[in-house]
Amino acid sequence: MTAQLDYFVDEWIVGQSHSGVESEQYQSRQPLMLEVMRWPDDQPERAWQFILAVIARKPPPQVLAILSALLLEDLLTAHGPQFIERAAHQAAVCGVFKKLLGDVWLDSEDTLVWREVYAIAGVEPPFPEGWRDAFPERKPAPDA
């Protein structure tokens, strides 16, 4: 990992570890936060490395939830086919990553690999019919 990416990871974790976007910790890091949020679309390889680096730091659960909902979900939405094999491998070796994968909310309008994501994570898709009509309770996949 480069020193710059290492810096971004540390600062992002601090910014996301506090009480919301109104906190001084978040506000002082807002430009960095906004830059990182663009990576899944603009720099997918960098986003992938960032996601793995954040997980390796073992941050608090709320930081991992944000990582899943914002960065991992956006990366899979924008570049799912490109990252699905790496996601499968990472889920097989890292339980935290597997859980985060199961926490993303994708459907057929988001990415062609949405069902594969949930199969890898061992959970049922949140939108089994492929569209967002309701927010069902998440359940483990039948074979999980």
Provide DSSP, 90-121: HHHH-HHHHHHHHH----TTT-TTHHHHHHHH
What's phi and psi for 123, nearest 5 deg? -130, 160
Q: Find the length of the chain.
A: 144
Give the model's pLDDT for residue 138.
52
What is the C-alpha separation between 141 and 144, in angstroms, rounded? 5
What tens digit of pLDDT does each residue of 12-66 get? 999 888 766 677 877 888 889 899 999 999 999 999 999 999 999 999 999 999 9
- The whole-model pTM stands at 0.85
Higher-scoring residue by pLDDT: 18, 72: 72
pLDDT tens-digit map of 91-123: 999 999 999 999 999 888 878 899 899 999 999
